[in-house]
Amino acid sequence: MSRLTRYLPHLVLALGAAVMLLPFYWMLLTSLRSPAEIFDISLWPVPREPAAVANYAQAATTVPMARFMWNGLVVCAGILIVQVLTAVPCAYALAKLRFPGRRLLMALVIAALCVPMQALALPLFVGLATAGLLNTYFAMMAPFFLSVFAIFLFTQAFRSYPDEIIEAARMDGFSELEICWRLVLRGALPSLAAFSVFSVVAHWNDLYWPMIVVNKPTLAPPPLGMLFFSDVETGANYGALMAGATLITAPMVVCFLLARRHFIAGITMTGVK
């Protein structure tokens, strides 16, 4: 009985994890297989005739994969930087400064949380087009410069920062900017890590918006680049396709692994509880 209660949770977790990881496993497996084995139902990990080198070479050379990755990096970094630069002061103001319209702003932020980007795509597209900004990194980033999710998350995290310390810092002659960026944000670094993971993952994987505003291959981020592989009319080298998919997914996995330690602490801190 005691052994059962000890191992049962592991067993249940392992079964669940197997389901969660099956798609990843299959992706990796197929990326190692030769076309002759693609249709095998077997999940045996060792391919009969290894084709990994051929598949990955094809994935990396048929399309300018490095270029796509670079574009993804530029877009994600640009979005994240502006999101943090605008959301942190706003969240600080919402959490710690009483100013007129604060409640209204908070209500607007919560309302905007439910508005999906797709709903506003058309006017945003027309706006960027009239400004002559299509086919730029800016067009890919602009609609995401404001993250209401970040404002919400940081407001929650900043609220728990002790008011006494802020008061004391003001007495000591700290400017409000210094208090915001050097004291309050430093106290909430884990939530910054948590948000960064969400933001980068979301924009690295976004296909919808780049597809609308960008039509130059040199600007395509990874998922748009993926379309060059999984072409409906002619493409069918599933091994190379999955090799490409693995190459695109890997940076996000690494990114999560690096941030993992701060991650849950960060969420805890936001007081989303």
Partner 1 sequence: MSALDLGMAPPRRTDAARRVARRGLLFALPAILLLVAIYIVPMLVLAGFSVTDYQLGALNWDFVGLKNFRDAFADPVFLRALWNTVLYAVIVIPAGVFLALGVALLVHGRKRSRAFWETAYFLPVTATLVAMATVWQFLLHPSLGPVNAAIRWLGFEPVSFLGNPALLIPTMAVIGIWQVLGFNMVLFLAGLTAIPKDLHEAARLDGARHPLDRFLTVTWPMLGPTTMFVTVTTSISAFKVFETVAVLTKGRSGSEVLLYALYLEGFEYSNTGYAAALTLIFLAIVLVLSLGQSVQMDRKVHY
Partner 2 sequence: MTITRRLALSALALGLAAPSFALAEDVTLNVLYNLPGFTKFHQPLADEFMKQNPGVKINFLAPAAGYNDGQQQVLRAAVTNELPDVYFSGYNLTAELVHTLAPRGQIQDLGPFIEAEGGAAFLSANFTPNMSALGVIDGKQYGLPVNASSPIMYVNADLVTKAGGDPADMPTTFPELIALAKRIHEMDPKVAGMSYDIAGWPDDWLWQAMITQQGGTLVDTATGKVGFDNEIGLNALTMIRQMAAEAGAPTFDWDQARQQFGAGLTGVLFSTPAHVQTIEGLVGDRFPLVTTTFPLDNKERGGVPTGGNSAVMLTSDAAKQKAAWNYIKFVTGPEAQNVIVRITGYLPTNKLATGEAYLAPYYHDHPNVATAARQAERSLPWAGYPGGDSVRIWRTQRDIIGTVMRGEVTPEAGLAQIVEQTNALMK
Which has the closest alpha carbon to 92: 167, 189, 179?
Answer: 179
DSSP-derived letter for residue 232 is T
Among 56, 68, 92, 209, binds partner 1 (CB under 8 A): 92
When CB distances are held under 5 to 8 angstroms depending on the partner's kind, the choice from partner 2, partner 1, none that residue 44 binds is none
d(CA 146, CA 157): 18
Closest CA to 125 of 113, 137, 140: 140
Q: How many CB atoms are closer than 10 A to CB 219? A: 20
The yes or no reply on residue 259 touching partner 1 (CB under 8 A) is no
Residue 67 contacts which entry, partner 2, partner 1, none (Cβ below 5-8 A, type-dependent): partner 2
* DSSP structure class, residue 33: S
Encoded one letter per residue, x for contact with partner 1 by CB under 8 A and - for no contact, window 194-233 reads -------x--xx-xx---x---------xx--xx--x---
Q: Decide: 228 and 63 in contact? Cβ < 8 Å.
A: yes
Long-range contacts of 70-75 (CB under 8 A, 24+ apart): 71/137, 71/218, 71/219, 71/220, 71/221, 71/222, 72/204, 72/221, 72/222, 74/137, 75/137, 75/140, 75/141, 75/203, 75/210, 75/221
Cβ neighbors of 243 (< 8 A, separation 6 or more) are 31, 52, 55, 56, 58, 59
Stretch that binds partner 1, among 49-57, 63-71, 131-139, 254-262 (CB under 8 A): 254-262
Contact flag: residue 79 with partner 1 (CB under 8 A): no
Residues that bind partner 2 (CB under 8 A): 35-36, 38-39, 58, 61-64, 67, 125-126, 129-130, 134-135, 212, 214-218, 220, 224, 227-228, 231-237
Least distance to partner 2 from the beta carbon of 165, Å?
49
Q: Whole-number minimum distance, CB 32 to partner 2, in Å?
A: 17
Q: How many residues bind partner 1 (CB under 8 A)?
A: 94
**Rounded distance, CA 66 to CA 141, Å?**
20
- Shortest Å, Cβ 163 to partner 1: 12
Pattern 28-67, partner 1, x by CB under 8 A: --x--------x-x-x------------------------
Distance in Å, CB of 158 to partner 2, minimum:
41
x-marked contacts with partner 1 along 158-177 as a string, rule CB under 8 A: ------------------x-
